[in-house]
Amino acid sequence: MTHIVVLGSGFAALTAVRCLRKRGVTAEITLISPRDSLHYLPSAIWIPSGLREVEELQIPLAPFLARHKVRFLQTAVTTLDAGARSVTTLDGQVISADHLIIATGARFLRKLPGIEHALIPCEGLAPAQAISERFHALEGGTIAIGMATNPNEPGAIRGGPMFEYLFILDTLLRRQMRRDRFKLMFFSPSDRPGQRLGEKAVDGILAEMKRRGIETHLGHKMVRIEPDKVVTEAGEIPADLILFQPGLTGLSWFEDTDLPLSPGKMILADAFCRVTGKPGVWVAGDAGSYPGPDWLAKQAHQADLQAQAIAANIAAIEKGLEPATPFLPELICIMDSLDSGRLVFRRGKINLVLPALKPLHWLKRLYEGHYLRAFR
C-alpha cells in the first residue's frame, strides 16, 4: 500500500489529510508532529478581550485522526532526506514514504538585537496570553505595535494580525474608558505597511489609524529593541508594551538537508506544490517558497489551498495520471477590530476591499466555528 507521510499538525497538514480521504485515497497516512492538537491562531487576537480563552483554541486531534485512519507519531523531525523521501525523528526513527508532505510551518526571524524584549503574537497561543496579561496590568503608557519582513524573502510576512491587535486594543481601551491614558504607536520599516492587501486596503488602514488617533513611525529601518523602547535609524519609540512581528524563514533543520531552498531559506516549490527536483516530495503552507503574484500571502487560507492542490495531485498519481492541479493564489482576510471587520479579497486582477462593517466581525466568528467543526 502507498505510504504518505505528513509533517505538521497545522492548517496545511490537516487539510492535506482531509482532502486525500475526500478524494478516496486509501493509502496509509502517517502524521508526525510534536503537537497533538490544532492551535487555531486566527482567533488568538480575541484573547485580550476575553472573547476567547487559550483552552478554547487548542483542539485535540485524536478524534479527527481516528476518523481519517491516520497513524500519529508525536515527535519532532530532526532531519530529512528528500532524495530517499525519508525523515529521521527525535527518537531516532527513520520513516520512509512514497509521498512526503512538508507542512511544518516556518519560524520567525530573531536576528534583530533585543527582539526578546518584544512579544511576537503569531508564535503561538502563549504570546497571545502574555499580551493579554501585560496589557491588563498597564495603567497607562505607550503600546508600540509593528512588523517587518524577511529581506531575502519579501513575501515572508504575516502582517494582518498586527493591524488586528492594534485596532482591537484601541477598541478595548475605549470600552474600558481609559483610551486617554494610552498612546498607541504603529511602526514598520515600510512606509506603506500591508501592501500585499492592495493599495486601497493600505489607504484604508492608514486612514483608520488616523481616525483612531494612532500615531505612526513608518519607513525607517529598525536598529534594536530595548526593554522600554524601539530604536530605529530615525529615532526612538518609548514603549511600555512592545508587540513585534518579524519576517518568516524556514525551520533551522531545513539547511542541513538536500531540500532546495530560496534566498529566504524556504523550500522551493512549483505551482503544483512539488518540491523542486525532488519527485514525491511536496510542500504546503509557510514552509514553502512558491511562484505566483507578488501579493501571494502567508496565511492559513493559502496554506489550505496549497494542501488541496497536493491532495488532488497525489490522487491523480495514484490513478496513474500526471499531476495537473496548480494551487490557487488567493488572499481572503477579515481584519477584525472587535466591533467590526474589514474584508480584503485578492484573486488574479481582482482586489476587493470592503469598509469596516459590524456583520463582518460576526462572519469571522461564524467561520471559526465552521472551520473547527471538522476537528471536534
Q: Convert the pLDDT of each residue in 50-96 to its tens digit.
A: 999 999 999 999 999 999 999 999 999 999 999 999 999 999 999 99
Task: Give pLDDT tens digits for 35-57.
Answer: 999 999 999 999 999 999 999 99
Q: Does domain 110-247 have CATH number 3.50.50.60?
A: yes
Under CATH, which number does the domain 3-106+250-318 receive? 3.50.50.60
- All three cell numbers of 208: 483608520
pLDDT over 90 at 296, yes or no? yes
Write out the DSSP string of 155-222: T----HHHHHHHHHHHHHHHHTT-GGGEEEEEEESSSSTTGGG-HHHHHHHHHHHHHTT-EEEES--E
Q: How far apart are alpha carbons 69 and 362 in whole angstroms? A: 34
Task: Please answer whether residues 286 and 190 qualify as being in contact, where contact means their C-beta atoms are separated by less than 8 angstroms.
Answer: no
The residues near 28 (Cβ < 8 Å, ≥ 6 apart) are 1, 2, 3, 4, 71
Report if pTM > 0.75.
yes
Whole-angstrom distance between the N-terminal and C-terminal Cα of the chain? 29
Q: Which residue has the higher pLDDT, 155 or 15?
A: 15
> Which grid coordinates belong to 253?
533543520
Q: What is the DSSP letter of 250?
A: -
Residue 181 has pLDDT above 90, yes or no: yes
Helix (H) or strand (E) holding 73: strand 70-74
Query: Tens of pLDDT along 144-161?
Result: 999 999 999 988 998 899
- Domain residue spans of the chain: 3-106+250-318, 110-247
Rounded distance between C-alpha atoms, residue 65 and residue 72, angstroms: 7
Cα torsion 61, 316, 326, 23: sign:
negative
Express each pLDDT in 326-372 by its tens digit. 999 999 999 999 999 999 999 999 999 999 999 999 999 999 999 99
The Cα–Cα gap between 363 and 331 comes to 17
Q: What is the pLDDT of residue 233?
A: 97
Instruction: Determine the Cα–Cα distance for residues 285 and 298; give it in Å rounded to an integer.
Output: 7
Give the Å distances, CA to CA, from 184 to 4, 121, 124, 170, 244. 48, 17, 23, 8, 13
Predicted pLDDT of residue 376: 85
Same fold across 3-106+250-318 and 110-247: yes
**Are the beta carbons of 49 and 72 closer than 8 angstroms?**
no
Q: Please compute the mean of the pLDDT values over residues 200-222 and round it to a whole number.
A: 97
